[in-house]
Structure formats: structure tokens, C-alpha cells
Structure 1
Amino acid sequence: MNEKENNTNLQLTHINDQGRAHMVDVINKAPTERRAIARAEIEMSEATLVRIKEGGIKKGDVLAVAQVAGIMAAKKTSDMIPLCHPLPLTGVDLLFSFLDPTTLRIEAEVRTFGSTGVEMEALTAASISALTVYDMCKAIDRAMTIRFIGLMEKSGGQSGLFVRQSEE
């Protein structure tokens, strides 16, 4: 399924018969290998990005701290998102790239073998990693903007493969 398909025929799974939120029971879902990749982009001044690259931020190595923060966030997603299942994650990785002189891209990949997906864990990892970059650099650049957070890809489970159609 890709993002261009019409999803109006899908049911919201987190709503019970009374129209109230509930945690989905996944007991009858077959465990499969599940993977998700989410992305966040943070725009900042050129000088800030140079200082990140050169290790010139007084609080420390921005990307190392953002990496650990993203991993920790993925592991704690069910503590922050009320209807998420706690999952035994088999892997979490964050990759950083510089898109242009003012934009840092963060990609979080999360994996598990289980009965529900890891999209929320990947989105949480990318988000918290971007917020950590902001926190570590805010003293020199309060105008930074987290301008994109989105699911790029997911695989596994009944719904199968999703790949965001991007302009790149």
C-alpha cells in the first residue's frame, strides 16, 4: 500500500464498540518480522550546522547525544503514547545526514519480531532525536525548526509494505 491509495474504507482499530479508545488486542495476530523507518528534518542557521559538524557545541557531541536519546525514546514509546503496546525491540538505529548547509536529516530504523508494528517507535525515535538537537543547540540558535516528521517505510504484518512516495 502506498500513501496515494484511498484509505477511507479502513476502520480505526483503537476505537471500541462504544466509540471510546482502547488498546487493540493483538493475541490473534501472527508474529512477523516488523520494521519501520521514520524521518525528521531540522532546519537551522548555517553557522549552527557547522558547529555541530565540527563538535563546537559546548554541551557536547550533539549527534552522539541525539543518537542515544532516539534509541531511549524508541524503547520508551509505550510509556508516552497511551495506546501503544510495549514491544521487545530487536534493533534501533539512527542515521544523520546533512541535506544542505542548513538542514540536518535524522532517520530512525526500528525492528522487532512480534504481533504489532514499530511505526510509533520509529516516529518517536526520530522526533526525540530532533528535539535533542534543538535542546543542545538552542543557546546559539533558537530559530531552529523541526520541519518534517514522517513515516518513510514500514514492513511486516497484515498490511504489508508501505513506502512513502517522495520527491527525491
Structure 2
Amino acid sequence: MRYQALLQVVGFWLLASSCAEAAAPISPPTGAVVRYGLCAQRDRVSYTQPQSTAGYATTGLLQLSETTTDVPLRKGVGFGFVWKANNLPARPVVTYRVEHPSITRPDGVTLDHFEEDLQEDSVNGSIETIDCYILSEDHELVPGQWTLSVFFRGSLLAKKIFRVYESKL
């Protein structure tokens, strides 16, 4: 009798836990680029980022203007995208990755990419935000393919390739 009661309890527990999982499936994170193009930044604040091509990074208000993947190679020109993602935890740490042609900084360090992990805030598991790269320093003015990507725990959420070209101005 005790054995039968134990089996009923275990069976009920298994049934309840499988129903709970079926009711709330755990989905992998998904993401996409919403808009892209040239980007401007206002109210800029810098912080040290020794892994970046400039040696620092900036925060501030970002706004996309012209929709394009062709970027004129000029100091102060920015490019990037608005991206969104779903099925994330409340405070996910996302990895921003910038890949670019080989750049040698004034300190002699040569880079072809850099990454930065930043904690974001999600609302009900979702994020929609903007990420841009601003050509700020003379040594960053290198034409070629530049790729901006966003990852969560190694899974790609958003990616866009830009062609930075020598402009005649």
C-alpha cells in the first residue's frame, strides 16, 4: 500500500512538472536588425575602453539618419543599427563586437576587432536599442568592411556589415 501511494505521488509530481514545462517553454534568445544606416551622437560621454581602436568608448543619445550600408570615411561619421531581441533574462550581459580592417593605434597596438560586454535591461525578456560606431580618431580612418554584431551567451542576436569608403570631400 505504501509502495502504491509512493508511486502515485511520484507519478503526480512527474505529470505536474511536465505540464509546467509545456505551459512555459524555454525558448532560445532571438534577435534582428530593425533599421540601419548613418548615425549621429549627441550628449557624448567618454569612458576608458583599452580594447577598442580609439582606446575609449562613448555613450550618449544616438540617432539613425540615412539608411545605407555605404559609409564615407570621415572623422565624426557614424554608422550602426537599431536591434531588438526576445527571450532574454531581466538583466542580460550582451557582447558588442566590432570587426574592421587592420588598424594600428598610436600606442603601436594593431587590432582588427574588439568586443565589449555590457549589461542591458530587458522588459518582459525583450530589448530594442541602438548601437553605433563613430569614427572619432584619425587612426580609425581606414576604408574597408566593418561589421557590427551583438551576441548573448555566444548566440548572434544582430549583425550588419558596412562598407566604409574613401570619400572625395
TM-score, structure 1 length as denominator?
0.32
Q: Which has the larger helix fraction?
A: 1
Which has the higher Rg, Structure 1 or Structure 2?
Answer: 2
**Relative contact order: is structure 1 or structure 2 higher (C-alpha 8 Å, sep ≥ 6)?**
1
TM-score, structure 2 length as denominator?
0.32
